Structures are given as structure tokens and as C-alpha cells.
Amino acid sequence: MNCKSQKQRAIRAFEDFLSTPLETLLQQHLDTPNESAALSLFHDVAANVPAYKAFLAEREINPAAIQTLEEFQKLPAIAKENYILRYPLADLCRHGQLQACDMIAASSGSTGKPTFWPRFFTDELQIATRFEQIFHDSFYADTRRTLAVICFTLGTWVGGMFTTNCCRYLASKGYPITVITPGNNKEEILRVVQELGSAFEQVVLLGYPPFLKDVIDTGIARGVEWQQNQIKLVMAGEVFSEEWRSLVGERIGSQNPCYDFASLYGTADAGVLGNETPLSICIRRFLADNPDAARDLFGESRLPTLLQYDPVSRYFEVQDRALLFSGDNGIPLIRYDILDTGGLISYDAMIQFLAQWGFDTVAVLQDERLKQSSIKLTKSYTQHSPRGIHPLPFVYVFGRSNFTVSYFGANIYPENVTVGLEQPVIQEWVTGKFVLQVKEDADKNRFLSVVVELASGVEGNEDKQQTIAFSILSQLVRLNSEFANYVPSEYQMPQVALAPTGDPEYFPIGVKHRYTRK
């Protein structure tokens, strides 16, 4: 792509973004058949991306023969192993031109070796609409002076820079949003809020849930009066409970969690795939209080993250409980298996399901907004119709299916822990089996738990526990760059418990061992 066409593409996309109202963007899926967007992207990628062309050729698939959604859904799924890691980075981009992308983010794999994800300015504009949805529908940021504090890790990691850019695009669109980027520097975040917060009508903290809670708790201990700043939270990278949301909401003085929080389903691979809305949060809180309804809806007794998505921007499918998506990016992805388990529910099906359980989401949201109108000064809070109700489909996500756990937004892999147990002396004490979990203490703070199986005849003691914990920590920091950069140092030390060989709870004999628990 030459400089002129690159420039024209950027100008055209930015003009469209700035001039198109959010409501128009969120309604386009009603006029666009989902399959037409997916098929159109497929034919474009099959013709213009060298790696995907080769991927199809190796499997003797003729792109011209794929003309219906049914044929599209029979295409082999792509994943990191069979696609991203098999071809040169440039070949994964259109026309084999890496230089047509103007930004590269990194995500680290099980060995700590990063995967690179290039993107162009126009890719960010697509994702900026997800942020606009949150800032407009949840936070009413079109009418309130807003300080957006980026608390995601800065650097090559996708969260910080991507979020910063998207928030700045909203400011360009006319939202009274001012952005500041302390990253995951807790002292700097607290200084920013205390010194600048009073100049704005609300302060939005954007970061990983456990880190934001730590910031809030540290602030309370130092006398920060969060409720004076009308705090809102935008989060990504973790599944959390509604009890967690309520606890944190209480500590920041939140009057309405449906409108004061929003979680993103975000990835380095493709930006933001979906986001919480006031509607989805209201539904999830109902389901948290009604576990039978949740089990009926999701088929499991655990509560997934529940979001809405735009099927024109990201086309989702479910195959054997795995979520696949197709979407345009610097590296366009067709039926990409991100290794998350979950499912899809149409808007109409969700509303009908809730009606069967006697729950009227719209009425509940209406009541909440009217309640808030008595304590907010902004006129828009007294509107009769609550914002944040769009007939977009729902996606629910249980999390990674490849045995990782997510901790402060870092993917932690069993392979990293294994290396810690394979060090001299330690390897004589243990069998090599362990169970990796992220747990919460009584105050809802997260910690990394590792239960390790002792070798036959070996007795556990505190010295062994500490030696193993330090060894695991040193290998996590060495091997997993996300862990080293995302997790605050005071939360990095794993809590190690030692269990005897064949412990029935963690290491039952004769059963295939699982190294992680959700």
C-alpha cells in the first residue's frame, strides 16, 4: 500500500468515526446480515493475505466455493499454533506488508516469548466505538467533564496504549474527556486523583480489576475520599464476581453498579471483542442472585462474564463450546479460536428467558436511573428512557480453555510453574504435580495459590514451602513477561501449600490430573 492510499484510508476512517453518531453505529447490525460481513471479510482475506492464502491452499480449499454461511462455518478454525506461529509476521498482514500497520503490540506465551500483533490506526477506530459505548451509555461522558486515568500497564502490552488511543479519539469526537497515563504506578495514580480529580465531574479508572481494587484500598488507608470524585471503573482481563463488584462499589461510593462499572472482553489478538453494558450488568446481577436461573441459561454453576457485542465488527460462532470469531485487524482473523469457552445468546432470546423468570431488566434499569436523578445534577440523568439498552447479541465467556489462569490480566501457564519445581533439590521433594489457582481472601484481594504434591515419604515444612514459593516466583518473573510487568510486586509471591502424595482433594490417584482450577 502506498503512502497516498494509506493517508486516504486514515482520513476517510477518521472522518466517518467523528461524524457518525454512536446510535447509528450500534444499529448498523439491524440492516446488515451478519453473514454478509463475515463472508465479505473472508473473501478479502483469502485474496490479499499471503498466510491465509497458503493456509487454504494447503487444505485444498477454493475460496470461490465459499458462498454461504453454511460453507463458511465449515472452514477450518485458525489458532496461534496452526496459523499465527506458522507464518512470517509480514505474511499475516494484507499484501504481506507489515509497514502498512503503524503500531505493534505484544502478548507473551507460555515461554515468555512474545507474539506480535500489528495494527493500523483504522483498527483502533473500530475499537474506539466500544469505548464510546461505555463512556456515553454508562458514564454519560458526553455531558460531564471526565478525567480518564489509564491504569493498565504501558509499553508494548496491548492494554495501556490501545486504551489511551481510544480515549483520545473520543475526545476528538467532542467528548469532554481528558486522558492521563500513570500506567500501573499506584503512587502516581493516587497523586493524579487527589490533585486533579476535583477539576472534573467524574474520574474513570481503567485497569485490571484486582489492581484497581488495590489502588482503591490503598487510597482508603491513606484517607482518600473516593466518593468525592464520582469514580467509574473500566476493567479487562479478569472474570470477577458480583460480590466483588458490590464490595468495590461500596468503597468508591457507587450509587449504581450497572452504570458505574464496565468490563471489556479484550485481547492482544484483536482488540476489544465485546463489552459490558448497563443491560448486561443488570442481567448478570440478577443471575448472581438466582443461581438456578444462571445454571439454566449457561449450563454451568459458575457465572461467566456476560457482554454484548456488535456482530458486524466481530462475528462470533461457537464450536464445541469454544468461541470462534472473525474480525478485521492488522492481522485479519477468520474463525479464530482464542481458546475461550463460552456461548452466544440473541437479544430476543435473552429477554424472553428473563421474562420466564419474572425479571424485567428495562424496568429495573429505569428505576435505578430515576433513583440516581435525585442525587445527580446533570439534566441527562432525568431522561425517561435509560441509556445502555441496545438490541445487540450477548456473548458469555468462562475463560481460557488451555489451562491458563488470569491474574492481574497476565496469563499464567502451568509450564512456568513446572520450571520452578524442576530446580535442584526441589525436584527431589516433589512429584511435579501441582494445582494452580487464583483465589480471594476475606477482603476480596486476589492471590496466586499453588498446591504442590510432595514425593512419597517426603514431609512438608515451612522451609520447603518458602523455598518452593521463591523458586516458582523467580521462574514466573524470568519466563513470563506479562507476569513480571502486569502483577504488582507485592502480589507476585505465590502462596504455596504442600499436600501428600495422592491427596484426595488435589491429587486423586487414577484420575487424569488438571494443573489449574478456575
Three-class DSSP labels, 199-233: HCCEEEEEECHHHHHHHHHHHHHCCCCHHHHCEEE
* Mean pLDDT score across all residues of the chain: 90
Region of 229 (left: φ > 0; alpha: ψ -120 to 50; beta: rest) is alpha
In angstroms, rounded to a whole number, what is the distance separating the alpha carbons of residues 490 and 65?
A: 56
| Fold of the CATH domain 119-400 | Rossmann fold (3.40.50)
| Identity of the highest mean pLDDT range in 186-200, 368-382, 413-427 | 186-200
Taking only the tens place, the pLDDT of each residue in 225-243 is: 999 999 999 999 878 888 8
Question: In the structure, what pLDDT confidence band is assigned to residue 387 with cuts at 50, 70 and 90?
Answer: confident
Give the pLDDT confidence of 419-438 residue by residue, as tens digits: 899 888 998 899 888 999 99
The DSSP output letter for 198 is G
DSSP output for 333-378: EEEEEEEEEEEEE-HHHHHHHHHHTT--HHHHHHHHHHHHHTT---
CATH number for domain 405-499, candidates 3.40.50.970, 1.10.3720.10, 3.60.21.10, 3.30.300.30: 3.30.300.30
Instruction: For residue 232, give the C-alpha cell.
Output: 467509574
pLDDT at 378 over 50: no
Cβ atoms 169, 130 nearer than 8 A: no
Q: Confirm if 206 and 149 have CB atoms less than 8 A apart.
A: yes
Among 113, 177, 173, 172, smallest CA distance to 140 is for 177
Contacts of 209 (CB under 8 A, 6+ apart): 235, 237, 238, 240, 244, 248, 263
Q: Phi and psi (nearest 5°) for 439? A: -120, 170
Give the predicted TM-score (pTM) of the model.
Answer: 0.85
pLDDT top residue among 300 and 449: 449
pLDDT for 359 beyond 80: yes
The confidence band for 374, taking pLDDT boundaries of 50, 70 and 90, is very low
Of 124, 146, 147, 174, which is closest to residue 22 (Cα–Cα)? 174
Q: Supply the pLDDT for residue 35.
A: 78
Output the pLDDT for position 481: 83
Please check the confidence at residue 380 and state whether its pLDDT lies above 60: no
Residue 444, C-alpha cell as written in the block: 476480596
Cβ within 8 Å of residue 162, ≥6 positions away: 105, 124, 127, 266, 271
What region does 127 belong to: left with phi over 0, alpha with psi -120 to 50, or beta? Answer: alpha
Question: What ranges in 262-360 are assigned the alpha helix state H?
Answer: 278-289, 291-298, 347-356
Mean pLDDT across 64-87? 95
Note whether 436 and 412 are within 8 A (CB).
yes
| Helices within 173-199 (DSSP H only) | 186-196
Given this model, what pLDDT does residue 300 score? 79
Measured from the Cβ of residue 40, the count of other Cβ atoms closer than 10 Å reads 12
Domains of the chain: which residue ranges? 119-400, 405-499
How many Cα atoms occupy the beta-carbon half-sphere of 392 within 13 Å? 32
| Secondary structure string (H, E, C) spanning 32-74 | CCHHHHHHHHHHHHHHHCHHHHHHHHHCCCCHHHCCCHHHHCC
| Closest to 403 in 3D by CA, of 343, 451, 339, 450 | 339
Q: Percentage of residues in the chain with pLDDT exceeding 70?
A: 93
Q: Which residues of 405-430 are buried (b: 16+ CB within 10 A; e: fewer)?
A: bbbbbbbbbbbbbbbbbeeeebeebb
Q: Is the pLDDT of residue 381 over 50?
A: no
The residue type at 325: F
Rg (CA), the chain: 24
Structure confidence at residue 379 (pLDDT): 39
Calpha distance 485→202 (Å, rounded): 28
Residue carrying the nine cell digits 485490571: 208
Residue type, 293: A
pLDDT of residue 1: 58
Instruction: Provide the CB-side half-sphere exposure for 1 (13 A, CA).
Output: 20
